[in-house]
């Protein structure tokens, strides 16, 4: 399922236009992205949590040359499914 499929499903279930449903879907994901960029945890009841994790800088090797190099610190987003979602996946 992609954003368009999700918007079509919402439009059909809620009796709204596909364009309006697409705006809602886009706004939801934009809001999640903005909160994550601020480092906030996003908790969606019955679905799960998105958390931002910090990865510190570390030493690595260039795979092409084998030379040592520094891998920059970065932030990553992770998802933990809620129990309700896990139960749907494993009835």
Domains and CATH numbers, the chain: 1-38 (no CATH), 41-90 (4.10.520.10)
Model pTM score: 0.75
pLDDT of residue 91: 85
* pLDDT single digits (tens) 16-67: 999 999 999 999 999 999 999 999 999 999 999 999 999 999 999 999 999 9
Q: Confirm if 40 and 52 have CB atoms less than 8 A apart.
A: yes
């Amino acid at each position: 399922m992609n954003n368009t499929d999700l918007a079509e499903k919402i439009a059909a279930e809620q009796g709204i236009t596909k364009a309006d449903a697409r705006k809602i879907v886009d706004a939801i994901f934009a809001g999640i992205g903005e909160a994550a960029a601020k480092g906030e945890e996003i908790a969606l009841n019955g679905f799960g949590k998105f958390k931002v994790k910090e990865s510190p800088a570390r030493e690595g090797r260039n795979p092409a040359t084998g030379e040592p190099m520094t891998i920059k610190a970065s932030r990553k987003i992770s998802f933990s499914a809620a129990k309700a979602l896990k139960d749907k996946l494993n009835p």
